[in-house]
């Protein structure tokens, strides 16, 4: 029997203290800076493709794609996209 896939969101894992809010903040900043690879590894044993998570979230995708919108306005949309995303176990 194949292992069950964990369909919890990043937000759920934060609520369960399996991923810290600081890690989410770090992932948001990593996405906004574009300085890290698209896959972010959380210490709790999860990984998330940041680009895919943002592209899958309609509001975040729209704001991130706007050239005249600063990072201050993009940040909450990226955070919402990451919190609603479903990471994969490492």
**Residue 3 counted as domain residue:** no
**Residue 2 counted as domain residue:** no
**Residue 72 counted as domain residue:** yes
**Residue 28 counted as domain residue:** yes
Q: What is the span of the domain harbouring residue 73?
A: 10-89
Structural domains in the chain (count)? 1
* pTM for the model: 0.88
CB-based contact 42:35 (threshold 8 Å): no
**Residue 1 counted as domain residue:** no
**Residue 74 counted as domain residue:** yes
Q: Convert the pLDDT of each residue in 25-35 to its tens digit.
A: 999 999 999 87
Q: Convert the pLDDT of each residue in 38-69 to its tens digit.
A: 899 999 899 999 999 999 998 898 888 888 98
**Nearest-5° angle of CA 76, CA 77, CA 80?**
85
**Residue 5 counted as domain residue:** no
């Amino acid at each position: 029997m194949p292992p069950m896939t964990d369909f919890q969101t990043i937000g759920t894992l934060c609520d369960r203290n399996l991923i810290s809010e600081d890690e989410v903040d770090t992932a948001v900043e990593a996405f906004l800076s574009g300085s890290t690879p698209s896959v972010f590894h959380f210490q709790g044993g999860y990984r998330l493709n940041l680009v895919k998570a943002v592209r899958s979230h309609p509001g975040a995708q729209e704001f991130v794609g706007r050239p005249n919108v600063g990072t201050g306005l993009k940040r909450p949309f990226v955070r919402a996209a990451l919190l609603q995303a479903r990471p994969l176990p490492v």
